[in-house]
């Protein structure tokens, strides 16, 4: 049976003090309570109080997702302003210090901090997660196995975290380097069947390693409670339009791979060790680097690979009604990723506060 390929998009935002341009926690908690009254389940806390997460409803196509996500961004920008804050979409803050940030008072986060200690406290990062509806569990695992290959390409498009603790890191996605300190992160191994994945989860629960499958934080996972695969590798991009384009690409990839499997075909699969080489290149260089084409055994510029990738999913795009959203990816290649644009402002001004101001403008752009 054909999957629904529904979409759900989650974004994590920074709450910024308009004077210092630093992250601000205390008022953000009050803002969150007001947000919950207005937006119910579509807004929730994250581990640090200066992080606010929103999630769309289950959307049947990319235009529905666009409408919902834009509405959420607008609402959160307005709420932030009402509480004397500025909302920013960036995967790390250019100069904030995680040691000065409050943890949200919730037993779930207290447990994570108890288990992971400094690693949890320093995890002051902001991501984009995209869910695609695939109701059959075996199909979900097969699509996940094949989609692992494309994760570095997707990450390169989203890269938006070049700074950490006031320093230029030399990485386009420093968020990815911070997050890999957590256990059960990065690109997962292949699983032959859903039951093999289930056996893995059950073993971890039985041995008191995790208490539920949500503590598996891979770059892609079958969601433990929804009938979706969840792609978690992305930095949150600056613009909502970029999030929508990336979500459309992820949806089209899932659809293309499922159609291959339905015809008893597959996209060639590579070992995790090789895929992690490409992930490192995406994290380090973003859109400006080269990834390895394992079939040709050559380095290929990321821009060329993205054009090839768009051709690969072409047949699914009209079927899903996502032509306009996918076309924006070409614009993203021309304008550079969020990381490239942040670095441009930094090099022109030498002022990280100006970078924060730029990020705030971009967060509102096109809404």
- Tens of pLDDT along 61-100? 999 999 999 999 999 999 889 889 999 999 999 999 867 7
Phi, psi of 167 (to 5 degrees): -115, 145
pLDDT at 11: 97
Residue 48, pLDDT score: 58
Q: How confident is the model at residue 39 (pLDDT cuts 50, 70, 90)?
A: low
Cβ-based burial of 234 (10 A; exposed 0-12, middle 13-18, buried ≥19): buried
Q: What is the DSSP letter of 119?
A: H
Over the stretch 140-170, which tens digit does the pLDDT of each residue have? Answer: 999 999 999 999 999 999 999 999 999 999 9
In terms of DSSP H, where are the helices of 174-226? Answer: 174-179, 194-206
Q: Is the pLDDT of residue 27 over 60?
A: no
Helix (H) or strand (E) holding 138: helix 137-147
Residue 60: predicted pLDDT: 97
Using the CB atoms, write b or e for 8-18: b if 16+ within 10 Å.
bbbbbbbbbbe
pLDDT, residue 105, reads 67
Q: How many residues does the chain have?
A: 367
Q: State percent of the chain over pLDDT 70.
A: 92
Domain 7-364 -> CATH class: alpha beta
Confidence of residue 122 (pLDDT cuts 50, 70, 90): confident
Q: Which long-range contacts (CB under 8 A, 24 or more apart) does 113-118 make?
A: 113/47, 116/182, 116/183
pLDDT at 126 over 90: yes
Domain ranges within the chain, ordered by starting residue: 7-364
Higher pLDDT, 44 or 188: 188
For the chain, what is the mean pLDDT? Answer: 92
For residue 32, what pLDDT is reported?
67
Contacts of 53 (CB under 8 A, 6+ apart): 10, 11, 12, 13, 43, 44, 45, 46
Whether residue 54 is predicted with pLDDT greater than 70 in this model: the reply is: yes
Say which residue, 13 or 99, is predicted with more confidence. Answer: 13
């Amino acid at each position: 049976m054909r999957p629904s390929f529904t979409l759900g998009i989650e974004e994590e935002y920074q709450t910024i003090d308009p004077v210092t341009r630093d992250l601000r926690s205390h008022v953000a908690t009050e803002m969150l309570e007001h947000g919950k009254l207005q937006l119910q389940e579509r807004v929730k806390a994250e581990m640090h109080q200066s992080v606010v997460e929103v999630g769309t409803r289950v959307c049947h196509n990319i235009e529905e997702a666009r409408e919902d996500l834009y509405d959420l961004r607008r609402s959160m920008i307005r709420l932030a302003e009402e509480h004397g804050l500025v909302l920013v979409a960036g995967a790390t803050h250019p100069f904030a210090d995680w040691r000065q940030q409050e943890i949200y008072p919730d037993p779930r986060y207290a447990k994570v901090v108890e288990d992971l200690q400094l690693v949890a406290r320093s995890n002051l990062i902001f991501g984009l997660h995209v869910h695609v509806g695939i109701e059959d569990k075996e199909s979900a695992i097969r699509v996940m196995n094949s989609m692992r290959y494309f994760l570095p390409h997707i990450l390169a498009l989203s890269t938006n975290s070049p700074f950490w603790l006031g320093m230029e890191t030399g990485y386009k996605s420093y968020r990815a380097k911070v997050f890999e300190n957590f256990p059960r992160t990065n690109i997962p191994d292949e699983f032959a069947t859903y039951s093999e994945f289930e056996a893995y989860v059950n073993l971890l629960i039985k041995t008191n390693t995790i208490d539920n499958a949500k503590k598996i934080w891979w770059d892609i996972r079958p969601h433990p409670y929804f009938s979706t695969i969840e792609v978690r590798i992305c930095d949150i991009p600056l613009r909502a339009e970029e999030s929508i384009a990336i979500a459309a690409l992820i949806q089209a990839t899932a659809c293309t791979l499922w159609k291959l499997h339905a015809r008893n075909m597959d996209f060639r699969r590579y070992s995790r060790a090789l895929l992690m080489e490409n992930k490192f290149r995406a994290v380090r260089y973003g859109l400006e680097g080269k990834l390895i084409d394992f079939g040709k055994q050559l380095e290929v510029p990321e821009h060329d690979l993205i054009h090839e990738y768009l051709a690969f999913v072409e047949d699914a795009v009209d079927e899903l009604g996502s032509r306009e959203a996918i076309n924006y990816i070409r614009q993203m290649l021309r304008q550079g990723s969020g990381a490239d644009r942040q670095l441009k402002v930094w090099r022109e001004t030498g002022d990280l506060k100006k970078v924060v101001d730029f990020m705030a403008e971009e967060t509102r752009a096109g809404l």
